[in-house]
Amino acid sequence: MKVLDVSNISVKYGDIQALWDISFSVNKGQLVALIGANGAGKTTTLKAICGLAGLTGGTINYNDKVISGWPVHQVVDLGITLVPEGRQLFPKMTVEENLLVGAYLKRAKAKRASTLEHVYTVFPRLKERRTQIAETLSGGEQQMVAIGRALMQDPQVIMFDEPSLGLAPLMVQEVFNVIQDLHKQGLTIFLVEQNVHQTLKVADYCYVMENGRIVGQGTGKELEADQSIREAYLGL
């Protein structure tokens, strides 16, 4: 069953065309990835889904409901949550305060205590550091807080924008392990990543983006065997 269905959407920034008639879908419980080089249009795609970038064409459907043009808060209230690139925490607030900010929706606020305990189960390190100021954490720990904050919103679909960016190799692996665990728990995930090697290992299905267009798609194994993908993204 399709949860998210993006059909022929286009986005412009002034006179610059950022997306050209792109289409893709995400089924319930799937981990779908969008891969491509920096500047390919991946973040713009996420912004379009969230309502942060207006469409010049096409439609976005969520659970068979057209949400194109909806304001951000209404999109989030449907259960679509974004873990943004660069984490974007409140640097002077504690770990726990940053997490609780995520439970601002009425439905999330009602069960924020139990959700917080779940987040601390996923990230025991955050429970140890719950009173620590966010800006004093390592980059990997800050990424954990960003993911935890998204989980506090009780999402049905969680979207990740470059979650491994700027992290040490060991922490990159830990972040991907968390994403895999969330997937195994049944969460629907849309992952935007430049780390193609890791992404092809964890995704159920992948789309390849270049210059604002979808230029390829397939399972991780299919794309890993594609010579053009191997040369362009895997250095093989």
Sign of the dihedral defined by the CA atoms of residues 125, 130, 131, 135, in that order: positive
Predicted TM-score of the model (pTM): 0.93
In whole angstroms, give the CA distance from residue 85 to residue 43.
8
In whole angstroms, give the CA distance from residue 146 to residue 140.
10
User: Is the pLDDT score of 27 beyond 50?
Assistant: yes
Q: What are phi and psi of 29, to 5 degrees?
A: 80, 0
Helices then strands, counting H and E runs in the chain, come out as 11, 10
Write out pLDDT tens, residues 162-175. Answer: 999 888 899 899 99
Write out pLDDT tens, residues 57-66. Answer: 999 999 999 9
Which residue's structure tokens are 């997490």? 99
> In the prediction, which pLDDT does 38 show?
86
Write out pLDDT tens, residues 49-91. Answer: 999 999 999 999 999 999 998 999 999 999 999 999 888 999 9
- Are the beta carbons of 18 and 52 closer than 8 angstroms? no
Label residue 94 exposed, middle or buried (CB < 10 Å: 0-12, 13-18, 19+).
middle
pLDDT range class, residue 236, cuts 50, 70, 90:
very low
List, by residue range, all CATH 3.40.50.300 domains of the chain. 2-79+157-233
The CATH-assigned architecture of domain 2-79+157-233 is 3-Layer(aba) Sandwich (3.40)
End-to-end CA distance of the chain: 36
Mean pLDDT in residue range 11-24: 95
In whole angstroms, give the CA distance from residue 203 to residue 213.
20
Sequence-distant (≥ 6) Cβ neighbours of residue 13 within 8 angstroms:
none
Residue 168's alpha-carbon distances to 12, 62, 148, in angstroms, are 34, 35, 19
